Structure 1
Amino acid sequence: MDAVEILLLVLVGLSALVFLILDDLDPRRGSGESSKQSDSDIVIAKKEESVGAEGDAENRLESEDNCSERGISDDWEGVERSELEKIFGEAMVYAESESIAEDVRLQLYGLQKAALQGPCHGSQPMALHLSARSKWKAWQKVGDMSEEIAMEKYIATLSELIPDWNKGERTEAESRL
């Protein structure tokens, strides 16, 4: 190896080190922690929050009285939202367990990120990180889609690809009734 090759290797190593340090300092990931939370963990946490909110019956009755006095009725919106989140969570788990074409997997990834974290405002990953860059592009491609629409589109995309993906879960639920 000559001096130029050694210098290039040192520069690549240093740039990778700087990238890792900057990535670790990303304020959206917490206070310098390098622990990663999977998207399915986020959905489970959201479900647990909604379950905890449903258990507080007295507060709910008081708030319903206040809402009805003011002419506000959003009971159905909450039900639809939690049902949508439940189906979305099932779709995510199913999609992770199946072998899906890479282009569709990236499309689902972008919709999943938009549904869980909102629009992509992060900076583009380095060109050396091909996988991260393609995921970033998929998320960026979704645009400023709302979380609910992203969830619906995720479910619709998976249903187009695998029409009976949730058939087994429906038959189990129907058999319990």
Structure 2
Amino acid sequence: MKNILKITIVLVFLFTLSSCWSDKSKPNYQYMPDMYKSVGYETYSENPNYANGMTTQLPVDGTIARGKVPYDYENSNEGYEAAKLNSKNLLEVNEANLSNGKKMYDIYCISCHGKTGAGDGILVQRDKFLGIPNYKDRDITEGSIYHVIMYGRNMMGSHSSQLTAQERWQVTMYVQELRTELLK
């Protein structure tokens, strides 16, 4: 009985080992061939996998991209005025938010607006940009600051692609702190 078990084990081992030297010209079975050799479609080409037959698909109406926060005010003077009156910062004024607001301000704003918000940044000193506003001279609110960071205004471009919604509100909070210091 022991000999039969030993012989069986040796035969199974030899059979398994012999499968390693089999002819490789015959491929194994592929149960999902599309997973092995997927069909590549060009961006604007026809694609039979979609109802409209196109590869490029628009997002479904009403969906919001991951990581994006909707902003209810349009990029116009009316939107600016509405944001100035109605938009409020929901972040808590604390050291962490102010610290990150300062960090973002130092990266994106200080070169034009200056360290204190007086409109005397290094680019203004070198006459690269003129007419940068002083925060104390402007009638600004947290809504108007956020709106300008979001869309830009006059010579200032939008910073919405560089800053997340939270970072924009943190910069807004820091700008309000600078304005308070300037008004003293």
- What TM-score does the superposition give when structure 1 sets the normalisation length? 0.23
Structure with greater Cα Rg: 2
Query: More helix per residue: 1 or 2?
Result: 1
